[in-house]
Amino acid sequence: MNGEGDEEMKVEMKREDKSVYMCGYLPGALPQRSPILSPVEVKLPHSTDSGRFWTDVCGGGCGFAMAISDAGKLITWGSTDDLGQSYVTSGKHGETPEPFPLPNEVSLVRAAAGWAHCVCVTVAGEVYTWGWKECVPSGKVVGEPNTAQGQEKDTFERHNPFLPEQASPRPQGSRSTVGIASGVDGKAIGDENTKRRRVSSTKQVVESSSAGDEPLSALPCLVALNPGVRIATVAAGGRHTLALSDVGQVWGWGYGGEGQLGLGSRIRMVSSPHPIPCIATSSTGKDRSTSHQRGTMEGYRIPGTYIKGIACGGRHSAVITDAGALLTFGWGLYGQCGQGSTDDELSPTCVSSLLGIRVDGVAAGLWHTICISGDGDVYAFGGNQFGQLGTGTDQAETLPRLLDAPSLENEHARVVSCGARHSAVVTDGKVFCWGWNKYGQLPRFLHWTIGTDC
């Protein structure tokens, strides 16, 4: 997910010469407060330690963007200048792209941003994260204290994306429910199926944060993982994080009140990485090529032995098995879990209507989900208030719908990406975008040939 705020930016990468282009609106990088309607190239910083060329685009959160250089540096730009959440999470660089202040020895291979937190993976499989404290688990804090931590809470309120329009207007049911249980942090959890989601004030939104602390922290934290766990990639949602290990195990932390952590209950706060039981796998994970074990969850026989892909939306999550099965969990109010209902899914549940179709990629926005098949087809489901599903209407879809737009005919989708309220796919040499365009997220002209590694 590229962010949940109203100020969004789309970035794509050109493979041939490793260029990064941007379009849309970044307030800190656009003093005139006017969006970029056609793609503009983003240059690397001139400092010698920043790197020579781009290697990966990571998107960005509300008000900022970021990418990775060949030197393994996370380059960020476009933060706001009013001590809002993007001022903290982006590194406060404004219009000038600069390396985010991680330890000098850290070399990154992957990164992701939610609304107000960031997470990245090093070449050694370690994970650093920073931003909204609710999203930062226990671990070793690195860096020096700075004044960003002393921001006023009223500033945070002004930038709070979890407004009533984004909250569930009624209690949601679920396919997986629990009564009184013990949370993964040892705290008693009641049956929350009858409780309204409390998102009307800052105090309620951040009540899971450390008592007496400000809700945001600019200091990166080295996440404490179990011995031997090496993370390969990460995904960031509105208030939660997923991490995928090199053996196909999914770990999660942060807020889980709608089931987006897949732990079978509405856990408000998971303060340390916890394994998410997606499918039953052998102890050696995907390294055992002879393993044909399959897991069964929610009455479905799930093809696959390990997880190969992850995605986080605003309050829901999606994972893909090595056999191409798609599982979803979390908030379901708009059908974004693809289960044919608006129920929340508290545990990873196979999207049964896609069984028999090999899913190769998935992305999630605030209220919607887009996936692509091995045949290059595009499927969409969830909220569609801004046309983010690409179906030609604004009607929500609770089941995956194959996009049959004439523009996609004879195109083979390779990569999919979602912003909060817009979507994009990369085919063999083209980019297709649709959805909300208030800030110019959808470029008017694409003058270059795009690669498939963006």
Stretch 406-422: mean pLDDT, rounded? 93
Q: Is the pLDDT of residue 72 over 70?
A: yes
Contact criterion met (CB below 8 Å) for 116 and 7: no
Stretch 331-359: mean pLDDT, rounded? 97
Residue 83: predicted pLDDT: 55
Give the pLDDT band (50/70/90) at residue 62.
confident
Side-by-side strand order, sheet with 316-321: 307-312, 316-321, 326-330, 345-350
Residue 47: predicted pLDDT: 80
pLDDT in tens, 156-199: 333 444 333 333 333 345 454 332 233 333 333 333 333 333 33
Q: Name the CA dihedral angle for 204, 210, 212, 214, rounded to a multiple of 10 degrees.
A: -80
Percent of the chain with pLDDT over 70: 69
Residue 200: predicted pLDDT: 31
Residue 307: predicted pLDDT: 97
More confident residue, 4 or 143: 143
Using the CB atoms, write b or e for 240-262: b if 16+ within 10 Å: bbbbbbebbbbbbbbbbbbbbbb
Q: Which residue shows structure tokens 């995605």?
A: 311
Percent of the chain with pLDDT over 90: 48
Computed over every residue of the chain, the mean pLDDT equals 77
Residue 164: predicted pLDDT: 32
Residue 19: predicted pLDDT: 82
Per-residue CA distances from 270 to 168, 185, 314 (Å): 21, 6, 17
More confident residue, 101 or 342: 342
Residue 144: predicted pLDDT: 59
Give the pLDDT band (50/70/90) at residue 63.
confident
pLDDT in tens, 201-220: 333 333 333 334 556 666 89
pLDDT in tens, 100-147: 989 999 999 999 999 889 999 999 999 999 988 888 887 788 865 443
The letter for the amino acid at 243 is: A
Residue 152: predicted pLDDT: 33
Question: Measured at the alpha carbon of residue 304, what is the angle toward residues 299 and 308, in degrees to the nearest 5?
Answer: 120
Q: Is the pLDDT of residue 81 over 50?
A: yes
Residue 207: predicted pLDDT: 33
Q: Is the pLDDT of residue 272 over 80?
A: yes
Stretch 339-354: mean pLDDT, rounded? 96
pLDDT in tens, 25-43: 776 666 566 777 777 888 8
The DSSP code for 266 is -
Residue 290: predicted pLDDT: 34
What are the backbone angles phi and psi of residue 200, rounded to the nearest 5°?
-85, -10
The number of CA neighbours under 13 Å toward the Cβ of 430 is: 10
